[in-house]
């Protein structure tokens, strides 16, 4: 999987390439100047804190850099695509809602997948889902690819992909999970929260990254 240290080192390297401090990079992207400070990388109780996908997207837009180059530490990939990284299965949300593509734990099954290469990924269970439509805007747009891990531990506030036993597949924010219910909040503010019984959920997998 993408490591906490690798992401922050990539941000520091990006700032250095553009002659900026971490604070300067944050301000360039329209973020709070302290967003990337070392003090923001570890919480008071010692847990790792990650930069948000929105922050990374704003930084890449502000510096006009590609996600592949960002993860590679600024060394552009040769024309035709990256040589490093991991090749992962790729499918669309419509396929994810169909039967036969996943086992009960949310792992892709079968053969004949499309594939996409993603740099910096070491999670052998990960796969990619391609967003279709506008239901996940403004965070995820049509054509974005979400890198999903069915093995990552879930925590409140994680962005997740959820599949119900009825075949509905959605990208949500895990707000609360108890033995009696699972509460999911929408990325798009126009969509209300959803509450499910655990028995209604086929699987939940954490979104590691969005390739935008």
| pLDDT, tens digit (0-9, with 9 covering 90-100), for 13-45 | 888 888 888 899 999 999 998 999 888 888 877
- 3-class state of residue 162 by DSSP: strand
Find the range with the poorest average confidence among 43-52, 76-85, 101-110, 187-196.
Answer: 76-85
Asked if residues 203 and 164 have their Cβ atoms less than 8 Å apart, the reply is no
Q: How far apart are CA 167 and CA 137, in angstroms?
A: 21
Question: Are 119 and 169 members of one domain?
Answer: yes
Asked if residues 137 and 188 have their Cβ atoms less than 8 Å apart, the reply is yes
Question: Does pLDDT of 168 surpass 90?
Answer: no
The residue range of the domain holding 126 is 86-211
Encode pLDDT of 106-124 as tens digits.
Answer: 666 655 566 776 655 666 6
Is residue 77 in some structural domain? Answer: no
Using alpha carbons only, give the angle 202, 203, 204 rounded to the nearest 5 degrees. Answer: 145
Q: How far apart are CA 144 and CA 161, in angstroms?
A: 14
Question: Are 36 and 139 members of one domain?
Answer: no
Task: Report the number of distinct structural domains present in the chain.
Answer: 2
Question: Are 65 and 91 members of one domain?
Answer: no
CATH number, domain at 54? Answer: 1.10.260.40
Question: Are 99 and 175 members of one domain?
Answer: yes
Question: Does pLDDT of 181 surpass 50?
Answer: yes
Pairing of strands 86-92, 127-130: parallel
Is residue 76 in some structural domain? Answer: no
Is residue 93 in some structural domain? Answer: yes
pTM score > 0.85 for this model? no
């Amino acid at each position: 999987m993408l490591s906490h240290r690798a992401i922050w080192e990539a941000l520091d390297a990006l700032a250095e390439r553009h002659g900026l401090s971490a604070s300067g990079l944050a301000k360039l992207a329209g973020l709070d100047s302290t967003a990337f400070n070392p003090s923001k990388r570890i919480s008071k109780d010692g847990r790792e804190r990650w930069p948000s996908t929105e922050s990374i997207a704003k930084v890449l837009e502000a510096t006009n850099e590609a996600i592949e180059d960002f993860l590679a530490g600024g060394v552009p990939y040769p024309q035709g695509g990256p040589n490093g990284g991991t090749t992962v299965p790729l499918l669309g949300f419509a396929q994810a809602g169909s039967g036969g593509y996943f086992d009960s734990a949310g792992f892709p099954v079968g053969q004949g997948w499309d594939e996409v290469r993603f740099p910096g990924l070491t999670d052998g269970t990960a796969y990619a889902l391609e967003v279709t439509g506008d239901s996940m805007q403004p965070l995820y747009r049509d054509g974005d690819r979400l890198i999903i891990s069915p093995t990552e531990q879930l925590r409140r506030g994680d962005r997740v992909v959820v599949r119900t036993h009825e075949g509905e597949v959605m990208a949500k924010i895990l707000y609360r999970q108890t033995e009696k219910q699972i509460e999911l909040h929408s990325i798009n503010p126009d969509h209300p929260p959803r509450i499910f019984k655990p028995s209604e959920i086929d699987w939940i997998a954490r979104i590691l990254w969005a390739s935008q």
